[in-house]
Structure 1
Amino acid sequence: MKIVSVLAHLVRIPLASPYVISRGMLDAFTNVVTEMRTDEGLIGYGEAVPVSLIGDPVQFKSVIDTRLAPRVIGRDPADIESIVDDCLVACDGVVAAVAGIDLALWDLVGQALRVPVSTLLGGGGLDSSAARPGVLVDYTMSVDTPEAMAHRAREVSAFGFPGVVVKVDCKSIDVDVARVRAVRDALPQTSTMRVDCNGGYTPEQAFAFIDRIAGMQVEFIEQPVHASDLAGLKACRGRGLRVAADESLSTPLDALRLVSADACDVLNVKVPKAGGLLQSKRIAAIASAASLPLVVGGGLTFGISRFASQHLAASCTSTVGHCHEGPGPASQALIDDLTTPRVTRQQVGDHAGRVPVSTLPGLGCAVDPQKIAHYRIA
């Protein structure tokens, strides 16, 4: 089997309501969807996704078209490690673009072998009779007033989400503390709650914020300081809350640096940001070797990456017992998606706070070409 074509589509799907974090506001997701075809008629799909308000999808498409696709065409998609490593060299540092190639390769190989990607990754493919019937997921809440966030927390908890992630904008410690307190008071005691700063605080501000929320049953605080400040991240530890690294973590090399610096208690991997599933599994191996929990984050992804995140979470022991945002439905109000089936909130309610992991071949989703055409932009 040989790859005969790679097409990269720039796709924009609007949000029904704005999504606000410490770095700004979004009104749509604009990602690159890749379509990889083989000489045997199989089609695999991938996705390259910018980090929230960081990264240019137009650049991603250019990198895929000019640098990556020429290295892929004519090769056997089963040579995943060799192809991805070649693409990592060729991508000129735009690692997130490589996910568009990586996910499509795994999708093709799973289809060819008629097994789900989780089986290829070592997870076996989960179903309702398995010991782990699905992946626990939580809900990420956009920045809003404390009252509005408390109302939303009650809604998603009643719907079946076992936990929430509270976004703060890092403009006022007092207001951010009020947001956390309001959400905690609105949740059942059994619900988990995480707080995500998206790197918006200075170390001194982060210390003050952590000291004030440490007694509010916060599972951990995510990226309280800038991505490059590993010393500041480490200094945030030991103040009563575990610290998770997200913006500081893209590649396996980043994971090694975080572990070597003793800078965090939790690693948060985003499949598209890491460059795909191969790189994510390498990060998972580092987390396992360091005895650190691994959380599979989401970001501004369409359904393609959400199915991929499900397979990753289902194939790692370091993810067990933790909630994940990436495998679940988008917390942001996307008006539509490209995949059938679509990852939905109804699944979470129907499966006691989990999403089932597809046992169909490949990623386990069909991608609608008509929707790609409808939402494609120049």
Structure 2
Amino acid sequence: MGQIFADRRAAVPARVISFCGAALAVWAGLAVQPAMAVDPPVDCGRAIGLHFWSSTSLISDQTPDGTLIGKPVVGRSLLSRSCEVPDDIKDELSDKHDGEPVDIVLELGSSYKIRPQSYGHPGIVVDLPSGSTEETGIAIYIDFGSSPMQKVGERQWLYPQKGEVLFDALAINGDNAEVRYQAIKVGPLKRPRKLVLSQFPNLFTYKWVFMRGTSQERVLATGTISTDVATSTIDLKTCRYTSQTVSLPTIQRSALTGVGTTLGTTDFQMPFWCYGRPRVSVYMSAANTQTAVDGVALPATGQAAGMASGVGVQLINGKTQQPVKLGLQGKIALPEAQQTESATFSLPMKAQYYQTSTSTSAGKLSVTYAVTLNYD
């Protein structure tokens, strides 16, 4: 049987090239025998499939990027425990290399894209196929549990556990190293819906590499790793508020008769759209200065000349006809969000001038409130 590791070369004597009697260069020529044919790597087949837990998770716009979602899927017997080797080197392995280690290299499947960051986690983050990550902000996080992921190529990692030559085959003794999969939020929720994670074919290929990193490196066997068909549902729920500007009527400064005077009450509607029947509430906060009076906020300090002073704006809940408490303590439930899968509705509100000081001046007035959605 042929020896694939021998370097057979026929030596050619050194020669001297002379010009006008002076030696210019010395070189040695080597005649190399043609490389012998070798068998291709053995196909170890599909690795043991991993599957996602059958569970449902809630994700909203407020879920921070980098949040791991649901339960991790842990595989501890990911690869076949043994694999054949090409026929052309079985005798070579059994005679000379029995018991020697074999590296196992994982390579991400060509249809999967690695994200440039892992959001503080030690593993890698991979986009879902078919543009789903761009629509939902959900990707798959992968790591090797307590073992670091040692990168050995642009899309390749060294499997934490080595295989070994076992007579004329390849083997892994004991359980395989741990590989974990978990959904992760990586971006904005552009298209809320129920996202079902199920089968991801050929997520990785793996290679049994003998004498990796040497001139005699050879891939002896290959295979693929896929997730199985059990599913995990991620309920992508959201509510959105459309920013708006409310104009109050012009009033006379002389109508402000003392602290607490209210004028120019104006009705308006706060528009919302919600998907997925979320339990949600909303609260308002003063973007600049909040007063001790419920619902009253002041304009930004240091405003340009010609702006009114001594006056703020007060928000009134149109349902209860009571001033809105600013901040989280004043959150208002939005039960309309749970009435249909996709709900469009409005929250009735009122805004009015509120005199905050005995000293006032005429001019324009601009007050801003921040609107925050809070999911239960």
TM-score range, shorter chain: under 0.3
- TM-score (norm: length of structure 1): 0.18
Say which structure is richer in helix. 1
Compare the two structures and name the one with the higher strand fraction.
2
Rg larger in 1 or in 2? 2
* Larger relative contact order (CA 8 Å, sep ≥ 6): 1
